[in-house]
């Protein structure tokens, strides 16, 4: 009997509709083939989960390409077209039994609101209805009917901050194998609601603990084969943005439909409890000079992890205005400033203007300082637990010292959700008093062993003051609009010849 093969790869990025910086090819880490497999084996990422599942099952993987980028503005149409053509060409060559895709689900391109759905649709058109196609998405994906129609099965992260990326992909892989073996006949009950969660939406505390516990219990009791709850990313200006619940039955749908509807009703009942306000910067820094351990601050208003530009100066200006001159690591995206530092060279003392080109909540900074280090293509390895084992790099950087404040300037935006971003450029996180991260959730897991972690209420593109954003397509949605509880329903069954929608 021939050894089974699985096709995997694709493109993964989380987009922010209101970030004007288009995510172009140079923002992506691109891997392919056997090198990609060896490079990511054991990583706590969706791709790592696919790889580990294949090893455990004794299967071979085909990886035509995988493009991965940190969050940002919508993806260049040409980049998505390139990836699509590579994946389609691989699908046309055949020689595989299933397709398992480690995607994100919250990506936009310049012209497409559901690029993941389109990619899967193109693959489905080539392989027909017999070949299983499954995928793993981020919990913050925007999942809709067009996403689900060509998919046999979709799994989502069950944790926020995310620490089950690999496990999520393993669920998608298991589903594909179950379909091939005839032990899993996926029947989907999905429900959708135009509502956003804003702040109190971790799975470590608050309403989502109870909601996920209910879903987990339903799976344990056999009422559903798998349940995923998607709390959509809050900055996607696309129609029907909101909550999505997927419950899969194995051959039957009645119990799965009940589970999906009950989970969505719980989300709606908790709707006001899922909204909270973060502490202020002033509250967190009032006694910072007396602190004996680092404080790691998530800049809520300018989270690259949520798609913001990463060039806000709000926290830095607060430190300068209040003469807080403790050891601080402050990262900021400004390619022009990096180039200026590069021209000055290490040791150069210059007056530098930086930041605030896209984030308008705080003005740019002009300050005298010293260039203390420069570098390019510096490797970063996530220690985790969130995305543990992920390998990336900082393309170009400069460390510019203003008093005791080390400004880490980069020519690309980064989330700084792992301490190794700072270690990679020679900044020891344990020696700082203040560290600023461009993340709101995931950095808390990865920095917890270093110091006190907290997300602060700062202004900017990724703050939760959604009424300040220029919405054109997404509204109405709760809490900006008064809506009735009328969730959309969608159901689909995989028949012997493929999948088709069935009456709700």
Same domain, 353 and 244: no
Write down the pTM of the prediction. Answer: 0.94
Token pair 């530092």 is at which residue?
341
480 inside domain: no
Same domain, 201 and 292: no
As for how many domains the chain has, the answer is 2
Same domain, 38 and 182: yes
β-pair partners for 499 = 494
Same domain, 270 and 286: no
469 inside domain: no
pLDDT score, position 126? 98
pLDDT at 114 over 50: yes
Which is it for the CA torsion 73, 77, 79, 81, positive or negative?
A: positive
Summarised one tens digit per residue, pLDDT across range 9-54 is 999 999 999 999 999 999 999 999 999 999 999 999 999 999 999 9
Same domain, 233 and 94: yes
Q: In angstroms, rounded to a whole number, what is the distance separating the alpha carbons of residues 230 and 228?
A: 6
Same domain, 297 and 379: yes
145 inside domain: yes
Q: In angstroms, rounded to a whole number, what is the distance separating the alpha carbons of residues 186 and 252?
A: 8
475 inside domain: no
Same domain, 254 and 291: no
Same domain, 332 and 184: no
13 inside domain: yes
Q: In angstroms, rounded to a whole number, what is the distance separating the alpha carbons of residues 268 and 431?
A: 44
- Report whether 103 contacts 13 (CB < 8 A): no
- Residue 372 belongs to domain spanning: 281-456
- Report whether 417 contacts 453 (CB < 8 A): no
pLDDT at 496 over 60: no
Radius of gyration for the alpha carbons in the chain, expressed in angstroms and rounded: 23
Same domain, 122 and 214: yes
In this prediction, residues 154-179 reach a mean pLDDT of 97
- Report whether 48 contacts 42 (CB < 8 A): yes
Closest by CA position to 121, among listed 262, 244, 10, 40: 10
φ, ψ for residue 422, nearest 5 deg: -80, -40
In this prediction, residues 87-102 reach a mean pLDDT of 97
Same domain, 409 and 430: yes
Paired tokens of 216:
């987990």
Which H helix or E strand runs over 263? helix 254-269
Distances (CA, A) of 481 to 29, 233, 281, 478: 39, 17, 29, 5
Burial 391-414, CB ≥16 within 10 A → b, else e? ebebbbbbbbebbebbbbbbbbbb
**Half-sphere exposure in the Cβ direction for 208 (13 Å, CA):** 23
Same domain, 245 and 343: no
465 inside domain: no
Q: In angstroms, rounded to a whole number, what is the distance separating the alpha carbons of residues 273 and 198?
A: 9
pLDDT score, position 499? 46
463 inside domain: no
Q: In angstroms, rounded to a whole number, what is the distance separating the alpha carbons of residues 368 and 336?
A: 16
Same domain, 240 and 299: no
pLDDT score, position 504? 43
Q: What is the DSSP string of 121-167?
A: HHHHHHHTTTS-EEEEE-TT----HHHHTT-SEEEE---SS---HHH
Summarised one tens digit per residue, pLDDT across range 227-270 is 999 999 999 999 999 999 999 999 999 999 999 999 999 999 99
- Report whether 12 contacts 136 (CB < 8 A): no
């Amino acid at each position: 009997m021939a050894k089974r093969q699985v096709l995997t790869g694709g493109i993964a990025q989380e987009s922010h509709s209101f970030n004007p910086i288009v995510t172009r090819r140079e923002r992506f880490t691109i891997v392919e083939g056997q090198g990609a497999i060896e490079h990511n084996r054991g990583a706590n990422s969706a791709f790592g989960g696919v790889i580990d599942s294949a090893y455990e099952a004794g299967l071979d993987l085909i990886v035509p390409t995988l493009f991965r980028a940190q969050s940002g503005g919508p993806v260049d149409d040409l980049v998505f077209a390139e990836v699509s053509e590579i994946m389609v060409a691989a699908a046309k060559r055949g020689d595989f039994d299933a397709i398992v895709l480690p995607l994100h689900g919250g990506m936009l391109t310049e012209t497409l609101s559901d690029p993941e759905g389109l990619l899967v649709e193109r693959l489905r058109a080539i392989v027909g209805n017999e070949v299983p196609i499954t995928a793993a998405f981020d919990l913050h994906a925007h999942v809709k009917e067009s996403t689900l129609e060509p998919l046999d099965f979709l799994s989502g992260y069950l944790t926020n901050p995310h620490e089950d990326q690999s496990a999520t992909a393993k669920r998608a892989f298991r589903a594909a194998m179950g379909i091939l073996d005839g032990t899993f006949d996926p029947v989907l009950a999905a429900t959708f609601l135009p509502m956003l969660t804003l702040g109190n939406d971790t799975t470590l505390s608050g309403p989502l603990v109870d909601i996920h516990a209910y879903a987990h219990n339903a799976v344990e009791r056999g009422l559903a084969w798998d349940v995923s709850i998607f709390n959509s990313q809050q900055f996607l200006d696309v129609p029907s943005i909101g909550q999505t619940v997927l419950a899969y039955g194995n051959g039957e749908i009645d119990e799965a439909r009940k589970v999906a509807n009950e989970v969505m009703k719980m989300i709606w009942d908790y709707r006001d409890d899922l909204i909270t306000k973060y502490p202020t910067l002033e509250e967190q820094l009032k006694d910072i000079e007396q602190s004996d351990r680092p404080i790691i601050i998530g800049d809520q208003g300018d989270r690259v992890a949520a798609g913001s530009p990463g060039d806000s100066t709000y926290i830095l200006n607060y430190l300068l205005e209040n003469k807080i001159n403790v050891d601080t690591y402050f990262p900021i995206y400004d390619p022009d400033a990096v180039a200026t530092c590069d021209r000055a060279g290490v040791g150069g003392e210059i007056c530098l203007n930086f930041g605030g080109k896209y984030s308008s909540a705080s003005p740019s900074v002009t300050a005298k300082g010293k260039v203390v280090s420069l570098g390019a293509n510096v490797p970063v390895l996530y220690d985790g637990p969130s995305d543990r084992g992920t390998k990336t790099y900082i393309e170009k950087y400069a460390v510019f010292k203003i008093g005791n404040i080390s400004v880490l300037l980069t020519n690309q935006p980064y989330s700084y959700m792992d301490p190794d971003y700072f270690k990679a450029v020679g900044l020891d996180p344990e020696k700082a008093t203040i560290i600023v991260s461009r993340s709101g959730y995931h950095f808390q897991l990865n920095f917890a062993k270093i110091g006190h972690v907290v997300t602060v209420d700062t202004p900017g593109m990724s703050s939760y003051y959604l009424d300040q954003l220029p919405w054109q397509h997404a509204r109405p949605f709760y809490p900006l609009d008064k809506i009735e509880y009328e969730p959309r329903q969608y159901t689909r069954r995989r028949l012997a010849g493929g999948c088709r929608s069935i009456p709700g």
